[in-house]
């Protein structure tokens, strides 16, 4: 009985001291929401709906699901040229917002877990952002 109590106490202690990915993802999403509000909302709107014909939606966007690396690249380097989002072509220019890798990861986590999007708990990290290279 004592052994079971010690074991349970150890599990409780570890869960309190060592954050899980869910905790880290939740914190990243919260930071990403702030970054989105300060940087992205003007074009992509408050609910990620975009502006038809001008700025692509982020809400329920197949572009995010099918090509998350391209979405990271767009945030990291900016974007110019034609893309297809939910079957609609957009050809405009998104400037480089000047975010660091951690901020890009946070805003990606926010976008991928908002407005009907789901990342299935797959967290974008600063390391993943760093690994995205501009292909031109």
**Interval 77-90: pLDDT, tens:** 999 999 999 999 99
Residue ranges per structural domain of the chain:
21-131
Question: Which CATH number is associated with domain 21-131?
Answer: 1.10.760.10
Whole-model pTM: value is 0.81
Per-residue confidence at 6, pLDDT binned at 50, 70, 90? Answer: low
Residue 105: band (very low, low, confident or very high) from pLDDT cuts 50, 70, 90: very high
What tokens were used for 78?
């900016």
On the question of pLDDT at 24 being above 80, the answer is yes
CB atoms within 10 A of CB 21: 11
- Residue 80's DSSP bridge partners are 93
Please report the pLDDT score of residue 135 as a whole number.
Answer: 65
């Amino acid at each position: 009985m004592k052994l079971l109590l010690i074991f349970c106490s150890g599990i409780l202690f570890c869960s309190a001291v060592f954050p899980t990915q869910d905790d880290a993802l939740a914190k990243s999403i919260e930071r990403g929401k702030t970054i989105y509000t300060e940087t992205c909302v003007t074009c992509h709107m408050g609910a990620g709906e975009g502006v038809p014909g001008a700025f692509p939606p982020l809400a329920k966007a197949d572009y995010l699901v099918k090509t998350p690396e391209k979405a990271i690249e767009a945030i990291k380097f900016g974007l110019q040229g034609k893309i297809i989002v939910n079957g609609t072509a957009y050809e405009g220019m998104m400037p480089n917002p000047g975010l660091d890798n951690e901020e890009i990861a946070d805003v990606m986590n926010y976008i991928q877990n908002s407005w009907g999007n789901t990342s299935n708990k797959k967290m974008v990290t600063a390391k993943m952002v760093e690994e995205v290279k501009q292909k031109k």
